[in-house]
Amino acid sequence: MDELWHAFVKAIHLIVSLDPEVMDAARISLTIAAISCSITALLCLPLGSLIHFRRFPGKRLLTSAIQTLFSLPTVSIGLLVFVIFSRAGPLGGLGIFLTPTAMVLGQIILISPVMLGLIISALSGVDKAVSETATSLGASRFQASLITIREARFAIMAAVIMGFGRAFAEVGVANMVGGNFAGYTRTITTDMMLQTQMGNTELAMALGIILILIALIINVVLNRLQQR
């Protein structure tokens, strides 16, 4: 219990003193997660809408496959990106391995199934009477689809928040394809892992507390925006 209390005090000290290493890790974590989440949302919203509104063979199987990928381990994604973009990989010539770009790509792959599946579920939760009423009043199929998306906007926003949370808190992809370089690819989670391996348990716990506090603040802000 004393160790937890000391970690909490340490976390407060690191925040108040604006410790450069912690600030850098927080900045990198937030930047990479925000970019990954934004790109994924721009891809998954139209794709999820297309899957929901179109009828095609294997639709249920595809939806089930997407939902199955919710539990895909982060290290599996990290290994995939590692194999593709490492120097010996097929796309190693691009030179993005051990860079923030590789981390963003890995996180996009990681959170895409989550965001896509939740967007499809959000659209499926809208009463069909909404689009049918719009169509009967003269709306085109595209306009009726937009109305359905608008009705599901709160659930869609929740999907985006979920995707951001998973990207912000993951460690497998960031460590395997980022290299954990201080001030460049070191995030709060990879710094926690490093400090734990070095035996600095108190500092690792303090970083964990900071991670939770940042995640809490972000979720409160995003939920406020969602309500408005």
Task: List Cβ neighbours of 165 (8 Å cut-off, separation of 6 or more).
Answer: 215, 219
Rounded Cα distance, 121 and 67, in Å: 10
Measure CA of the first residue to CA of the last residue in the chain; give whole Å.
Answer: 40
Please say whether the beta carbons of 19 and 195 come within 8 A: no
For residue 39 the two structure tokens come to: 């790109």
Query: What pLDDT, on a 0 to 100 scale, did the predictor assign at position 105?
Result: 92
Domain architecture of the chain: domains with CATH: 2-227 (1.10.3720.10)
Please say whether the beta carbons of 97 and 78 come within 8 A: no
Query: What pLDDT, on a 0 to 100 scale, did the predictor assign at position 222?
Result: 73
Rounded Cα distance, 186 and 178, in Å: 8
Query: What pLDDT, on a 0 to 100 scale, did the predictor assign at position 40?
Result: 93
Tell me the backbone φ, ψ of residue 72, rounded to 5 degrees: -65, 125
Please say whether the beta carbons of 173 and 110 come within 8 A: yes
Rounded Cα distance, 45 and 116, in Å: 7
Plot region of 170 (φ>0 → left; ψ -120 to 50 → alpha; else → beta): beta
**Averaged pLDDT in 10-residue chunks for the chain of 228 residues:** 68 75 86 92 90 83 85 84 85 85 91 90 80 73 80 86 88 85 86 82 80 84 71
Task: List Cβ neighbours of 100 (8 Å cut-off, separation of 6 or more).
Answer: 28, 31, 32, 178, 184, 185
The candidate with the shortest Cα–Cα distance to 96, out of 108, 107, 84, 114, is 84
Please say whether the beta carbons of 177 and 81 come within 8 A: yes
